[in-house]
Amino acid sequence: MSKSTDTQPLLGGDSSSVYNSKVKKCGGIKSYISYFINVIAIGIIGYLLFYNPTPAHASNPQTTVDPQKKKNIIFMVTDGMGPASLSLARSFRQYRDQLPINDILTIDKYLVGSSRTRSSNSLVTDSAAGATAFACGLKSYNGAIGVNPNKQPCGTILEALKLQGYYTGLVVTTRITDATPASFSSHVDYRSQEDLIAEHQLGEYPLGRSVDLILGGGRCHFYPRSIPGGCRADNRNLIDEAQINGGWSYVGNREQFDLLQSGENVTLPLLGLLADTDIPYDIDRDSKVYPSLAEQVKVALTALSKATEDSDKGFFLLIEGSRIDHAGHHNDPAAQVREVLAYDAAFREVIKFIDETETETVAISTSDHETGGLVTARQVTPNYPDYLWYPEILANSQHSGDFLAHKLASFKNKANTQEVDKFIKEEILEKDMGITNYKESEIELIKKQINNPGELLYVLNDIVSFRSQTGWTTRGHSAVDVNIYAYTNSPAIKNKLYNHTAYGGLLGNHENIEIGSFMEAITGSDLSAVTKLVSDTKHSPNAAFLESIQQEGIYGDEYHSHI
Ligand SMILES: *[C@@H]1O[C@H](CO)[C@@H](O)[C@H](O)[C@H]1NC(C)=O
Ligand SMILES: *[C@@H]1O[C@H](CO)[C@@H](O)[C@H](O)[C@H]1NC(C)=O
Ligand SMILES: [Zn+2]
């Protein structure tokens, strides 16, 4: 059962003054009679003024948002998903499921506008600056996690709403300490300070614990290096500490996740870390070992709505389709379409929730940036190309290039040259990738990189991309505008949402920070007040760490594991 232990608002959100004001005691029978007359008179006047034969909401929807009204804010990020990823996923699914050409994804039905994504120091943002723009409503530099361009902590929408008495949650498929979830729940100068991010997320910073529910990957930065899979530089085991001192309940695998009963059996705060690093790509995911994003979302929505059932505040939930970005970095179209479709399934859970809940709820979904410079056409001939594109090729691939590169690397350690040749052709290319028309030159390229899975995956992915005539222009991010989607059950929020910039809406083309401002406006949040409260947060790396960042670049783990 969900437990409500801390619904007391700490800042803003005047929830109680009306209900708590004591009824004045009246003395004597005379005042008693006049009291009753007053009550009756007020009742009649009230009836005449407010009586309306049809329900108020049906004939006369409230057109302005009431920031104090109980609400749920669901903010959804498709990391690295640009417009071409949607074209790819849509055409792929039409082919795979034999659907008509007018079949679209669920998310397609909720398109509202588009977002410009630049950061304070580059037209091409990274996920840290991208998420900080949403969380703090300000532009910061690439690598910045919940800090402004002067490296000062900035209050986030998650923190502001927690202080108002909302419950809060983070659901991702990457490490929970990765840039997007981190930017809502921590403050550090560089995204690779993931040990410190984990501490903030559990409440070791001036605000104390601000997150009620965590689901995703990333045990790594909660465990000491001495434990297999751990990577903390200090000797702390935050998972033990959180349970012993912090009162968190913990789930660390599929069996324990299933005991949550789709969110009906959750004790908050909940720390759910389901993988050491990232949860595998959906195309590789063993559903007996890892839940899908949609399953995680279901747990979060149920648990948070149960926890806020009797509260006059709702919840804030961040949901991220984190690894659309990784498939972009890997230039892996077969993995990416499955990531987009897995996100679309999670999006359907959110829509279903909004349609069923009584609480005013809005979901906003957007990307921090595009990844890969994906194009749904590619010139594969020396002369002017035919107008062709074959998403059906992606249906034959049963695994990501990353998975297959590691599969091949571990096979070759226990096999001779002939066996490796046979394995490359029959197991990897024919069986796993569904490709029979491979060329000797491609086999040579595979063998050349066989000891280097980080490069081999690009060789394998290009074999697929080339045949489907899918283009990639970078292993990094691009500056193309990304889409904004939204859905709400509230006429007032809808009225504001489908409005132009001048009225604070999200219709049309926007700067990414305006999405943050929208969430601030509809909840009456004062982020600058929160900024003051988090100013003493420890956010700078020590000298040794700073030097390692300077040597390795700001992208830290993302750089190493995905490029
Ligand atoms: C609910 O969760 C607890 C662990 O927190 C577990 O012991 C119990 O079996 C679960 N109940 C159900 C019905 O799964
Ligand atoms: C946009 O906002 C203005 C000002 O609040 C309001 O009068 C108008 O009805 C809104 N337009 C739409 C399309 O909701
Ligand atoms: Zn990225």
Q: What is the pLDDT of residues 76-134, one digit of tens each?
A: 999 999 999 999 999 999 999 999 999 999 999 999 999 999 999 999 999 999 999 99
Q: Which of 503, 506, 522 to mutate to test the pocket of ligand 2 (most atoms within 8 A of CB)?
A: 503
Q: What percent of the chain has pLDDT over 90?
A: 82
| CA distance linking residue 247 with residue 251, whole number of Å | 13
The answer to whether the CB of 1 is under 6 A from ligand 1 is: no
Question: Directed axis angle between helix 453-468 and helix 440-448, to 10°?
Answer: 160
- Smallest CA-to-CA distance from 539 within 148, 240, 238, 262 is with 148
Contacts of 33 (CB under 8 A, 6+ apart): none
Contacts of 164 (CB under 8 A, 6+ apart): 9, 10, 11, 12, 13, 313, 523, 525
- Which of the following CATH numbers is that of domain 71-99+113-374+474-528: 3.30.230.10, 3.40.50.720, 3.40.50.880, 3.40.720.10? 3.40.720.10
What are the phi and psi torsion angles at 215 (to 5°)?
-140, 130
| CA distance linking residue 207 with residue 187, whole number of Å | 12
| CA distance linking residue 137 with residue 154, whole number of Å | 9
| CA distance linking residue 431 with residue 398, whole number of Å | 8
Question: Directed axis angle between helix 157-164 and helix 127-136, to 10°?
Answer: 30
Looking only at the bridges linking them, the beta strands covering 482-488 and 360-366 are antiparallel
Ligand sitting nearest the alpha carbon of 124: 3
| CA distance linking residue 222 with residue 242, whole number of Å | 10
List where CATH 3.40.720.10 sits in the chain: 71-99+113-374+474-528
CA distances (Å), origin 474, targets 16, 314, 381, 418? 54, 41, 20, 35
Residues paired with 471 in a beta bridge: 375
Q: How far is the CA of 324 from the centre of ligand 3 (A)?
A: 9
Ligand sitting nearest the alpha carbon of 496: 2
pLDDT of residue 545: 84
Q: Which of 1, 249, 253, 265 to mutate to test the pocket of ligand 1 (most atoms within 8 A of CB)?
A: 265
| CA distance linking residue 185 with residue 174, whole number of Å | 15
Report, as an integer, the average pLDDT of 305-321.
98
SS3 45: helix
Q: Would you say 102 and 155 are in contact if contact means Cβ atoms under 8 Å apart? A: no
Higher pLDDT, 368 or 39: 368
Q: Catalytic: 127?
A: yes
**Active-site hit among 91, 127, 186, 397:** 127
Q: Which of 60, 112, 494, 499 to mutate to test the pocket of ligand 2 (most atoms within 8 A of CB)?
A: 499
The answer to whether the CB of 503 is under 6 A from ligand 2 is: yes
The answer to which of 83-97, 129-143, 304-318, 384-398 has the lowest mean pLDDT is 384-398
Q: State the DSSP H helix or E strand holding residue 321, giving kind and residue range, or none if neither.
A: strand 315-321
pLDDT of residue 478: 96
| CA distance linking residue 21 with residue 17, whole number of Å | 6
pTM equals: 0.88
Give the closest residue (by CA) to ligand 1 atom 9.
259
Query: H-type helices in 427-563, by residue range?
Result: 440-448, 453-468, 491-497, 513-523, 527-533, 543-552, 556-562
Q: How far is the CA of 503 from the centre of ligand 2 (A)?
A: 7
pLDDT of residue 61: 63
Residue where the block lists tokens 């959180």: 242
The answer to whether the CB of 265 is under 6 A from ligand 1 is: yes
CA triple 420-421-425, angle to 5 deg: 115
For the CA of 261, the nearest atom of ligand 1: 14
Q: What is the pLDDT of residues 20-61, one digit of tens each?
A: 333 333 344 455 555 555 545 554 544 444 444 444 444 456
Contacts of 4 (CB under 8 A, 6+ apart): 307, 308, 310, 311
Q: Per the omega criterion (within 30 degrees of 0), is the bond before 269 cis?
A: yes
Q: Which of 251, 259, 267 to mutate to test the pocket of ligand 1 (most atoms within 8 A of CB)?
A: 259
- Smallest CA-to-CA distance from 512 within 132, 236, 216 is with 132
| AA identity, residue 507 | L
Q: How far is the CA of 499 from the centre of ligand 2 (A)?
A: 6
Complete DSSP assignment for 174-234? EETTSHHHHHHH--BSSTT-HHHHHHHHTT-STT----SEEEEE-GGGGSBTTSTT--BSS
pLDDT of residue 25: 37
Would the CA dihedral through 372, 373, 378, 382 be positive or negative?
A: negative
The answer to whether the CB of 495 is under 6 A from ligand 2 is: yes
What are the phi and psi torsion angles at 67 (to 5°)?
-60, -25
The DSSP call for residue 483 is E
Q: What is the pLDDT of residues 271-286, one digit of tens each?
A: 999 999 999 999 999 9
SS3 content of the chain, % helix, strand, coil (to 5): 45, 15, 45
Q: How far is the CA of 478 from the centre of ligand 3 (A)?
A: 10
Q: How far is the CA of 213 from the centre of ligand 1 (A)?
A: 17
Q: How far is the CA of 111 from the centre of ligand 2 (A)?
A: 19
Half-sphere exposure of 39 toward its Cβ, with a 13 Å CA cutoff?
Answer: 6
CA triple 499-514-69, angle to 5 deg: 65
Confidence of residue 9 (pLDDT cuts 50, 70, 90): very low
The answer to whether the CB of 499 is under 6 A from ligand 2 is: yes
| CA distance linking residue 316 with residue 73, whole number of Å | 5
| CA distance linking residue 162 with residue 314, whole number of Å | 10
| CA distance linking residue 2 with residue 484, whole number of Å | 33
- Smallest CA-to-CA distance from 457 within 410, 402, 406, 393 is with 402
Q: What percent of the chain has pLDDT over 70?
A: 87
The answer to which of 43-47, 103-107, 528-532, 533-537 has the lowest mean pLDDT is 43-47
| CA distance linking residue 76 with residue 482, whole number of Å | 13
Q: Would you say 460 and 428 are in contact if contact means Cβ atoms under 8 Å apart? A: yes
| CA distance linking residue 355 with residue 363, whole number of Å | 11
Average per-residue pLDDT in the chain? 89
Q: What is the pLDDT of residues 339-348, one digit of tens each?
A: 999 999 999 9
Report, as an integer, the average pLDDT of 528-542.
95
Give the closest residue (by CA) to ligand 1 atom 11.
259
Strands in 57-182 per DSSP E = 71-78, 111-116, 167-175
| CA distance linking residue 548 with residue 327, whole number of Å | 27
Higher pLDDT, 389 or 437: 437
The answer to whether the CB of 259 is under 6 A from ligand 1 is: yes
Looking only at the bridges linking them, the beta strands covering 111-116 and 508-511 are parallel
Ligand sitting nearest the alpha carbon of 179: 3
The answer to whether the CB of 498 is under 6 A from ligand 2 is: yes
Q: Would you say 327 and 464 are in contact if contact means Cβ atoms under 8 Å apart? A: no
Q: What is the pLDDT of residues 172-228, one digit of tens each?
A: 999 999 999 999 999 999 999 999 999 999 999 999 999 999 999 999 999 999 999
Name the CA dihedral angle for 199, 205, 210, 214, rounded to a multiple of 10 degrees. Answer: 0
Report, as an integer, the average pLDDT of 397-403.
97
Give the closest residue (by CA) to ligand 2 atom 4.
503
Confidence of residue 561 (pLDDT cuts 50, 70, 90): very low
